Amino acid sequence: MNDATALPLVVENLTFRYKRRETPQIADISFEVHPGEVMLIAGASGCGKTTLMRCINGLIPYTYSGEMSGSIRLFGKSVLDLSMAELSQTIGTMLQDPERQIVGSYVLNEVAFGLENLGIPRPEILRRVDETLDKLGILHLRDRETFSISGGEKQKLALAGVLAMQPRILLLDEPLANLDPMSAREALQVFRSLADEGISVMIVEHRVEDVLSIAPDVVLYMEDGHIVHAGTVAEVMEVVDYTRIKLPAEIVERRARGKPAEAFTPALQRTTGDTLVSFENASFRYGPEMPDVLHDLNFNIHQGDIIAILGHNGAGKTTLVKHALGLLKPTQGRVLLEGKDTREMSVAQAAHTVGYVFQSPSQMLFAPSVEEELTFGPKNLGMPTEDIHRNVDWAVHTVHMETDLQTPPLALSFGQQKRVSIAAVLAMRSRILVMDEPTAGQDYWNYLAFMDAILMMPGFDAVLFITHDVDLAVIYANRVLLVYDGCILADGTPQDVLADEDRLRRSRVLPTSLLRLNRAVFPRTGKYMRAESIAHQLDGH
Q: What percent of the chain shows pLDDT beyond 70?
A: 96
Name the strands in the sheet holding 294-302, side by side, starting at the edge strand that comes first in the sequence: 294-302, 275-284, 332-337, 340-341
Q: What residue segments make up the domains of the chain, in order of their start? A: 4-102+167-240, 275-505
Binning pLDDT at 50, 70 and 90, where does residue 458 land?
Answer: low
Quote the pLDDT of residue 267. Answer: 43
Binning pLDDT at 50, 70 and 90, where does residue 269 land?
Answer: very low
Between residues 532 and 364, which one has the greater pLDDT?
532
How far is the C-alpha of 101 from the C-alpha of 250, rounded, in Å?
A: 37
Q: Which of 24-28, 236-240, 340-344 is predicted least confidently?
A: 236-240
Q: 514 with 472: CB under 8 angstroms? A: no
pLDDT at 399 over 70: yes
Amino acid at position 322, single letter:
K
Quote the pLDDT of residue 203. Answer: 96
Q: Best-predicted range by mean pLDDT among 133-137, 400-404, 457-461, 469-473?
A: 469-473
In the three-class reduction of DSSP (H, G, I as helix; E, B as strand; rest coil), residue 425 is classed as helix
Average pLDDT over residues 521-537: 90
Quote the pLDDT of residue 414. Answer: 72
Quote the pLDDT of residue 541. Answer: 52
In the three-class reduction of DSSP (H, G, I as helix; E, B as strand; rest coil), residue 421 is classed as helix
Q: How many CB atoms lie within 10 A of CB 392?
A: 24
Average pLDDT over residues 354-368: 83
Q: How many CB atoms lie within 10 A of CB 424?
A: 27
Burial (CB < 10 A; 0-12, 13-18, 19+), residue 19, is exposed
How far is the C-alpha of 399 from the C-alpha of 386, rounded, in Å?
A: 21
Q: 293 with 285: CB under 8 angstroms? A: yes
Return phi, psi of residue 84, to 5°.
Answer: -60, -35
pLDDT at 261 over 80: no
Q: How many CB atoms lie within 10 A of CB 47?
A: 23
Nearest of 417, 405, 322, 404 to residue 362 by alpha carbon: 417
Quote the pLDDT of residue 3. Answer: 47
pLDDT at 273 over 90: no
Q: How many CB atoms lie within 10 A of CB 385?
A: 10
Q: 508 with 180: CB under 8 angstroms? A: yes
pTM over 0.95: no
Quote the pLDDT of residue 69. Answer: 95
Quote the pLDDT of residue 482. Answer: 97
Q: Which fold has domain 275-505?
A: Rossmann fold (3.40.50)
How does DSSP assign 472-528, residue by residue?
Answer: HHHHH-SEEEEEETTEEEEEE-HHHHTT-HHHHHHTT----HHHHHHHHHHHHHSS-
Quote the pLDDT of residue 150. Answer: 79
Mean pLDDT rounded to a whole number for the chain: 88
Q: How far, in Å, are 265, 477, 510 from residue 495 at the CA level?
A: 16, 10, 15
Q: What percent of the chain shows pLDDT beyond 90?
A: 55
Q: 203 with 37: CB under 8 angstroms? A: no
Same fold, 4-102+167-240 and 275-505: yes
Q: Which of 274-283, 427-436, 499-508 is predicted least confidently?
A: 427-436
Quote the pLDDT of residue 114. Answer: 87
pLDDT tens per residue, range 86-117: 888 899 998 877 777 888 889 999 999 988 98
Average pLDDT over residues 393-400: 88
Q: Which of 176-180, 187-191, 214-218 is predicted least confidently?
A: 176-180
How far is the C-alpha of 283 from the C-alpha of 147, rounded, in Å?
A: 21
pLDDT at 25 over 70: yes
pLDDT at 245 over 90: no
Nearest of 416, 422, 425, 452 to residue 438 by alpha carbon: 422
Quote the pLDDT of residue 272. Answer: 65
CATH architecture for segment(s) 4-102+167-240: 3-Layer(aba) Sandwich (3.40)
Average pLDDT over residues 65-80: 94
Q: Best-predicted range by mean pLDDT among 84-98, 295-309, 375-389, 450-464?
A: 295-309
In the three-class reduction of DSSP (H, G, I as helix; E, B as strand; rest coil), residue 339 is classed as coil
Quote the pLDDT of residue 457. Answer: 64
Binning pLDDT at 50, 70 and 90, where does residue 1 land?
Answer: very low
